Structure 1
Amino acid sequence: WQPRLGEIDVEKAAEKLIASGAARAIFVSPEGDEAAATAVLVAREVSDAGLRVLLLDLTASGAASRPMLDSGLLPGITNLLASEAQFSDVIHPDLYSDAHVIPVGTADPIRAMRAADRLPIIMQSLTTAYDLVVVECGPADAQGIGRLVGDGTEVFLSMLEADDEVTQAAVKLIENGYPDVTLVTPVGHEPGDPLPGRRSAA
């Protein structure tokens, strides 16, 4: 595996977040749902290093949270924004790591997005409670992630293929105020690498 656009792998992305002491990691996935796996893998990697990590899934389809919860039917961020649920109702444990996750939820997304200006306050609360908040935004643009950034934010662009779509998305983020965007790929990551404290009894 050779990086094509200077992208880094999941372990390097996790190391970067731990070393920089970042409070927020915003993932944009121009290629859609499959690339959203990157945010999950990075969140688990940082969690396995002993930090308290929460993943917030802002994809339309729940692509990031579904593999963590084996379900798409749990209350999540849309329920919180639509005032149908409290924080305690929408934070769930990842079934496969010590990370926590707020799924996309089950409320009407249009109704929920009317309250999107509450996202900065929600993010602030989460960064107080967790060492790192990872947000998977799907194919968002610079404007779309504006409500999510704050002090100590690292912006990542998840990529599977080094194609025009990815390159253009990266260029747009750089031009629109995110010059330090880091390209990261799940390619080559071996999920289930034995990690300290996670070894199976085999």
Structure 2
Amino acid sequence: MNRSSCRIQLLARAFADAIPSVDERATHSRWRPGIGPFEEENQIKMIREEVEQRASIGESIKHEQPYPNSNRRVDLLLDDDGDLLPIEAKLIRFRRDNGNIDPNMYKSVFSPFPERSSSTMLTDCQKLVESGFGFPCGVLGLYYEANDEMYTNLCAEGIAEKFTLDVKYWYDIPIETVCIEPFDGLRHPHHQHGAVIAWKITEP
């Protein structure tokens, strides 16, 4: 594994290690306790702050940094003494707080069609390639599921494989799964375990 892959894996592992601790204190007035129901932006913020507090990756994690070629901002930017590695992070959570399937989640991950007000995990790959940051770059998926999930294809390994195939199919962008870092023991009845899935994009 080369250095950029190691950096991405270290970040993914640090996120996975931090999630159970964040879960213990994540409580919202609308939802049942646990980190799973929280919105994407808040989840990333809470986990990143826990990782930074633990100083578990040995380099700084900048956030919401502007793209060199646009006014868009990247979710996470690893900075190892000026060696920058941009990473877009997305929530992958197919069930709502009440256990029902969220009909919007699939398209927010796998849709290749950008919308004016938002991007998907798939379109993030194209934007990273065009960002001006250079290569490599990374994508991080925060995946949650219940212990008794009835849809057996909803698993971290399957999502990692499908996402890789879809990026190559729609954009012909070289991408590989770097790691799948599991976590479990969470409090929410429908977001009980999962994994941080990490991919690396290299120059087309």
TM range (shorter): 0.3 to 0.5
TM-score between both structures, scaled by the size of structure 2: 0.37
TM-score between both structures, scaled by the size of structure 1: 0.37
- Name which structure has the greater RCO, CA cutoff 8 Å, separation 6+: 1
